[in-house]
Structure 1
């Protein structure tokens, strides 16, 4: 059972929640697109429901809230180390089903992969998630084939129709806020996409010998190693460490975790200058097989959630979904 309330009361609820949470949602950032006269949809803090962009896909995922692009881990001097403080307020994040499923993948890597990352855990354990439904598929999405078009792991669900909001609250702490603003109980069912225009087929007989296929050579020519596909992906979590030394004291500074990418030059450089996967086709091969093969071998489901953001962002128009669909012929080739 859920609630129906007008948008004015919903904004009152958001204001009340903002006392405890920083509220993030996809929003239009005017004039901040590729060109000065274009907009972009990215995650940012909101105060009212009118700021939430429900009708367009965000170019970036929610992940930068829990995994900041640049995160200071600790400060150091000659003889002392001090761990960086974590944001006191919790995060309340509005996201779609694909991103909710992506959260499960990030939890796998940071909390269930043989260790717990304390920096991620501190942000993650305080966060709550409000599902935004998808009445129809966006261009380039292939979430249905990836099995991520539905979820039941959210803390609340929100749908806005006209001047009214329909909410279904699963978390008791959130329920108190909304129940105090309306008495109108209604049946609320999340909107989930049932079909995408883009279809993908991951071969059931996919094996590592597909690494020997000639299909990867295409990406040696096309890919420019910019890493944008990784940065917009909700399940990519590669990072580098940077030690920053202060100008006024060369013996003091801070260590930062900074987003990186398996596609960019220098990511695999080791001590002595040796580097793996110098060829861009090898990097694409690594990424594709990690997303739709070896991750599933370990966890039982694919890493890719089919959001299609990588297809949208690539300056060379490389389609990850098309790449997946080439794997069947590639397996025939290497038999």
Structure 2
């Protein structure tokens, strides 16, 4: 069922929804950007329509709703451990189609990638519902159409925002209750059809082991500085490490936390005995690139990258992931010509 809602009335809807849900959406933090006179757009809790920035791409993705930057898993005291409390709070997230598809990738990683589901992820994820914001133009660095993530049918509500009104398609019966007194309409969602950036992802059979030693990766050993920004802002990067935090002077009392990590960051691939299998930044760029468009697709039949372009937006060395895929395509072409 679809509805037409005046912007002036939408706060009433949000107010009713907040009785049962925590609401997250893109918000603009004035003067909190990289430079003192720039703003920072990120996901945060909102309570009114005015707080939501519908026209900007967030620097960070909404993945921390289900995969927190720091998450306490359990507490210990030397004799026993106590699992961290599940607060059981339901969540509504305002987001774009590519980001819904990113959640689908996280589901694969945490729920289908091994013999057991990740219970800490699952109990957060099962409480999340999506309010998808119509996105028909995208941003300069986006390439979601190339990655097949420009569309989704996984949402509770889909909205189109205009200056005077908001069109809403509601699929969730529970949420439909707050729209019952609104004007019905025949609104149907639309999706972006073409990005400014386009790239062709190579076929699985074209990515062969000889590409591991390709010269294309050496460029990134010179350019990448291993800051990990790309890992942090990516909606599908899901690497983490463990930290045991001891309280006061007794190392037997404390908590274990899961904390974000990243394949580009120094130390992440170090192993016992001093072994490190990806010592150069080029090695790490190769691993990330092939994980996003080869390993993940080989296992789950979809690419891990959703084409949001955030990694390109934040890289201080202006490294383009689209550029990396194009270089890989060129290396494949040259290999075929020489073979």
For residues 248-297 of structure 1, the C-alpha deviation after alignment (integer angstroms, 9 at most, x for no partner) is 53320000000000001100111122112011100000000000111111
> Does the 8 Å CA contact 1:202/1:327 hold for their aligned counterparts?
no
Supply the RMSD in Å over aligned alpha carbons: 1.2
Q: Give me the TM-score of the superposition, normalised by structure 2.
A: 0.96
| SS state at 1:27 partner | strand
For residues 25-67 of structure 1, the C-alpha deviation after alignment (integer angstroms, 9 at most, x for no partner) is 0110112111222101100000011211111111111101111
| SS state at 1:203 partner | coil
Q: Are residue 252 (structure 1) and residue 253 (structure 2) matched?
A: yes
Q: How many residues align?
A: 333
Equivalent residue for 2:82? 82
Q: Are residue 269 (structure 1) and residue 263 (structure 2) matched?
A: no
Moved more, 69-78 or 5-14: 5-14
Equivalent residue for 2:187? 188
Structure 2 gap ranges (5+): none
> Does the 8 Å CA contact 2:88/2:127 hold for their aligned counterparts?
no
| SS state at 1:311 partner | helix
For the residues of structure 1 that align with 2:125 and 2:227, how far apart are their CA atoms? 29
Deviation at 1:137, TM superposition (A): 2.0
Deviation at 1:132, TM superposition (A): 0.6
> Does the 8 Å CA contact 1:213/1:333 hold for their aligned counterparts?
no
Equivalent residue for 2:26? 26
For residues 72-102 of structure 1, the C-alpha deviation after alignment (integer angstroms, 9 at most, x for no partner) is 1111101021111123321100110100111
Moved more, 260-269 or 5-14: 5-14
For residues 219-252 of structure 1, the C-alpha deviation after alignment (integer angstroms, 9 at most, x for no partner) is 0000000111011111100000000001153320
Q: Are residue 53 (structure 1) and residue 53 (structure 2) matched?
A: yes
For the residues of structure 1 that align with 2:197 and 2:305, how far apart are their CA atoms? 14
Deviation at 1:20, TM superposition (A): 1.1
Equivalent residue for 1:8? 8
| SS state at 1:235 partner | coil
| SS state at 1:326 partner | helix
Equivalent residue for 2:110? 110
> Does the 8 Å CA contact 1:262/1:287 hold for their aligned counterparts?
yes
Q: Write out the 4+ residue segments of structure 1 that deviate beyond 3 Å after TM superposition.
A: 332-335
For the residues of structure 1 that align with 2:127 and 2:308, how far apart are their CA atoms? 25
Summarize the alignment of residues 145-224 of structure 1 with structure 2, pairs less than 5 Å apart: 145-179=146-180, 181-182=181-182, 184-204=183-203, 205-224=206-225
Q: Give me the TM-score of the superposition, normalised by structure 1.
A: 0.97
| SS state at 2:12 partner | helix
Q: Are residue 98 (structure 1) and residue 98 (structure 2) matched?
A: yes
For the residues of structure 1 that align with 2:125 and 2:69, how far apart are their CA atoms? 15
> Does the 8 Å CA contact 1:73/1:256 hold for their aligned counterparts?
yes
For the residues of structure 2 that align with 1:56 and 1:219, how far apart are their CA atoms? 29
Equivalent residue for 1:131? 132
